[in-house]
Structure 1
Amino acid sequence: MVVSADSPQTRLATRLSFLVAGFGIACWAPLVPFAKDRIVVEDGVLGLLLLCLGVGSVIAMIATGALAARYGSKPVILVGGFGLALILPTLAVVNTVPSLGLALVAFGAALGSIDVAMNIHAVEVERAASQPLMSGFHGLFSVGGFLGSSLMTFLLSVGLPPFDATLLCALPMLAAMGLAWPRLLAVVKTEEGPMFAVPHGIVLLLASLAAILFLVEGAILDWGALLIRTENLTPPAQAGIGYMLFSIAMTTGRLLGDKVVARIGDGTTLLGGSLIAISGFALLLLSPFGVAALFGFVMIGLGASNLVPVLFRGAGTQKTMPVGLAVAAITTMGYAGILVGPAGVGFVAHIVGLKTAFWVLAGLVGVVALCAHRATSANGTAYD
């Protein structure tokens, strides 16, 4: 099958790639308690093991940009997507610390590879379409995360052994990648460049803003429930509702985001979305009413939903670096934000309190608002 960049087939393949990436990583989360019991380790050792996933992802992200630039994103997407499906069952059976660590490094490498390559592919598909598509692609990652965690949790809750559950979860991933395979672009044209380059110029700005936004998202995931409990916004058993509202709002915002960007442009999206998110933080932290405060999570999710897609679009239109290396830089620094963010919030919270730490998060989003014009002007993004 010969496909062009501007065709429904390539858009379907891109959406399936994002769906599989979100689905795969979400399948791992419900397996963590089972892995801990199987290898019998303390929380400190488990934390180091979980770091292996991040290490594998970052290493693969750095390498993938150059590989995709030279050989196209299709083979990297296929290796990453099929790799996620095939490695997932091993995470349910390995029973020693070294074997689980190696499996997590491999799983993280597969995730990092597909993450960078599918964004490079998305940049090319969107550019050929001459219309915003990036938010919708990223929305499918969120949908995949919801489906993966839901399916795995359901299978485990009905008593299925973890290995059997992972096999059943791997099947739709394999099917989706098989469907995407002939529909992916054979070659994504990118600029020639070195195997590695330190981000600079507009790419450094885009990557830094991505790190901030991923940091904020990771902090809300890890600390949102504790903030709700500390401020007595809900009964303790319902403290997870904040991240649930945030996730629903972000997914909805991304699925609708392409129409928004087409109407108001990238610059206004980046500035307006940042201001909405900041308003959400203010509502969450200042409102004396629990329901109103919880609506702050909705505003943060809606405001932040289309900010990262705008940054990835900028990586595809800038002229400072090869596209593959630029996308890899944004993905890698964003992932670093997720890894570092929760620990940073904990450090700040220890010194000045959790509520103040969340005000710091709002301030960081303010940096995104201040840089919105620079990030989307000149060689920034296309839709203004």
Structure 2
Amino acid sequence: MAETAAALPPVRRLSGALYGVFVLIGIATSTWVTRTPALRDALGASTEQMGLVLFGFSVGSMLGILSANAVTARLQARRTILLGTCLVLGGLALMAAGAALASLWCAFAGFLCFGLGIGWSDIAMNVECAALERLYQRTLMTTLHGCFSLGTLLGAALGMLMAYLQAPLLLHWLGVAALALLGVLPLVRHIHNHSAAPAPAASHAHADTEPAPGPVLSALRERRVLLIGLFILGMALAEGAANDWLPLLMVDGHGFAEAQGTVIYLLFTLGMVVGRFSGHRLLQHFARVRLMQASALAAALGVALAIFSPLPWLGAASVLFWGLGAALGFPLALSAAGEGPAADSARRVGAVASLGYVAFLVGPPMLGFLGEHWGLRLGMLPVLAMALVATVLAMVLQAWAARRTATGGAAQQTA
């Protein structure tokens, strides 16, 4: 106990560094999300062309997520997070240049860099946070993702002000990129690469029962990891669709002005912040799988109202349910994947997160294509369907956990 108490100040400092970086990445993300209508106008792009531009983010994210384990193993968490964050901010600067030059290809390249940086920094931070959770036996993941949502809230508030003032995208986005870089540099010094530490000696006694290291996606051969990965696929699509399309959905689908669309996105991020910062307290009263089920159901309700509501104000209010529902899906699934043998934790987290990024890869162009032909409201039907699938998967995981608990109890009674 003395060692645990002595370790509390370091875990606050170490987790605080991760939290700070995630806040800044959240600010950078909502900086471009809140100005997507202005970016579309600056590029002179159709809805389908905007989907293809956003596809750059998806491709970059997938490349980043699939290579993140190898990059992190070589560079360790601290340098991977720094490199990824620099790519994020450099991508934002390239997007600003694309808007100024009215160049679709420059904007696409900016989104590609942004996505690659997100993939590297996101996986490295999640793996490092999972290592801290195991080491200090504390729930940190929901707060980590809450900090990302807090950053998106702050960035959305700034974006709303910039949209109201009709500030040039070049000035807005370059300013955010420069200030965020100044904030990141001192934070990464406090990241100490705990995810690279060797597994405790007790773990090696069971090395013959642990899965052998291998490609990140090979972890999906384990049924439980696959179910968690499919769950996160649906929840990532719900979150990613809002991040990519919500302002345009409200502007084009419900007839709001650009500044109003940004305010509505602000409501979504507020729901995300409240949901994620409440996660630690909720986990003290409810089982993780029950929270996963409730989150998916709330997200489905929010998306359904956004699609089918005939009243614009109700469609706008629905984003609170959407945000509250999407808030806990990703971090809870990553925490669940991180449980188990420490030596294989990074591969499990990487595999589950990879399936999440499949949603980011497929989502933007698919929703853009559907939105071009059906309108953005009906284009969100796949998001609703996947949220309902995630609800069912959470029920399956709950039944799986109940069977394992019953089996373990019976084994103890027999012994």
Distance 1:340 1:80 in 2: 22
- Answering whether residue 203 of structure 2 is matched by residue 193 of structure 1, we say no
- Answering whether residue 167 of structure 2 is matched by residue 175 of structure 1, we say no
The alpha carbon displacement at 1:55 in A equals 0.7
Residues 253-262 or 188-197, more deviating: 188-197
Contact 2:60 2:111 in 1 (8 A): yes
The alpha carbon displacement at 1:206 in A equals 1.4
Distance 1:324 1:48 in 2: 32
The root-mean-square deviation of aligned C-alpha atoms, in Å, is 4.1
Distance 1:325 1:10 in 2: 22
Contact 1:318 1:379 in 2 (8 A): no
The alpha carbon displacement at 1:76 in A equals 0.6
Q: 1:37 to 1:250 in 2, by over 3 A?
A: closer
Match of 2:284 in 1: 262
The alpha carbon displacement at 1:186 in A equals 3.1
Residues 287-296 or 310-319, more deviating: 287-296
Match of 1:29 in 2: 33
- AA partner of residue 11 (structure 2): S
The alpha carbon displacement at 1:85 in A equals 2.5
Match of 1:112 in 2: 119
Q: Which structure 2 residues correspond to residues 1-384 of structure 1 after superposition, within 5 A?
A: 7-30=11-34, 32=36, 44-94=48-98, 95=101, 96-155=103-162, 157-158=164-165, 160-189=167-196, 193-198=213-218, 199-201=220-222, 202-219=224-241, 222=245, 244-277=266-299, 297-319=319-341, 322-341=344-363, 343=366, 354=378, 357=381, 360-361=385-386, 363-373=388-398
The alpha carbon displacement at 1:239 in A equals 7.2
Q: 1:43 to 1:356 in 2, by over 3 A?
A: closer
Distance 1:292 1:30 in 2: 20
Q: After the TM superposition, which parts of structure 1 deviate over 6 Å for at least 4 consecutive aligned residues?
A: 227-230, 238-242, 281-294, 377-380
Contact 2:34 2:265 in 1 (8 A): no
Q: 1:333 to 1:356 in 2, by over 3 A?
A: closer
Distance 1:312 1:246 in 2: 22
Distance 2:380 2:47 in 1: 27
Distance 1:356 1:53 in 2: 19
Q: 1:376 to 1:335 in 2, by over 3 A?
A: farther
The alpha carbon displacement at 1:256 in A equals 1.5
Higher helix proportion, which one? 2
**What is the TM-score when the length of structure 1 is the normalising length?**
0.79
Distance 1:263 1:75 in 2: 37
Q: Classify the secondary structure of the residue corresponding to 1:306.
A: helix
- AA partner of residue 283 (structure 2): V
Structure 1 stretches of 5 or more lacking a match?
none
The alpha carbon displacement at 1:34 in A equals 5.8
Q: 1:17 to 1:142 in 2, by over 3 A?
A: same
Between the aligned residues of both structures, percent identity stands at 23
Residues 335-344 or 7-16, more deviating: 335-344
Distance 1:53 1:272 in 2: 29
Q: 1:125 to 1:6 in 2, by over 3 A?
A: farther
- AA partner of residue 367 (structure 1): V
- CA deviations 1:165-194 (Å, max 9, x no partner) are 333212331232123122102342377833
Contact 1:68 1:117 in 2 (8 A): yes
Number of aligned pairs?
374
The alpha carbon displacement at 1:254 in A equals 0.6
**What is the TM-score when the length of structure 2 is the normalising length?**
0.73
Q: Classify the secondary structure of the residue corresponding to 1:264.
A: coil
Contact 2:235 2:296 in 1 (8 A): no
Q: 1:315 to 1:174 in 2, by over 3 A?
A: same
Contact 1:211 1:334 in 2 (8 A): yes
The alpha carbon displacement at 1:255 in A equals 0.9
- CA deviations 1:29-66 (Å, max 9, x no partner) are 35556655666665544432321121111101100023
- AA partner of residue 268 (structure 1): R
Structure 2 stretches of 5 or more lacking a match?
1-6, 200-211, 406-415
Contact 2:13 2:190 in 1 (8 A): yes
Q: Classify the secondary structure of the residue corresponding to 2:195.
A: coil
Residues 285-294 or 16-25, more deviating: 285-294
The alpha carbon displacement at 1:118 in A equals 1.1
Distance 2:113 2:14 in 1: 27
Contact 1:49 1:104 in 2 (8 A): yes
The alpha carbon displacement at 1:20 in A equals 1.9
Q: 1:209 to 1:151 in 2, by over 3 A?
A: same
Q: 1:296 to 1:48 in 2, by over 3 A?
A: closer
Contact 1:227 1:354 in 2 (8 A): no
The alpha carbon displacement at 1:284 in A equals 7.6
Q: Classify the secondary structure of the residue corresponding to 2:221.
A: coil
The alpha carbon displacement at 1:379 in A equals 9.6
Q: Classify the secondary structure of the residue corresponding to 2:161.
A: helix
Residues 215-224 or 266-275, more deviating: 215-224
Distance 2:46 2:166 in 1: 25
Distance 1:360 1:128 in 2: 38
Contact 1:13 1:180 in 2 (8 A): yes
- AA partner of residue 115 (structure 1): D
The alpha carbon displacement at 1:257 in A equals 1.1
Distance 2:97 2:130 in 1: 37
Distance 1:276 1:171 in 2: 37
Q: Classify the secondary structure of the residue corresponding to 1:371.
A: helix
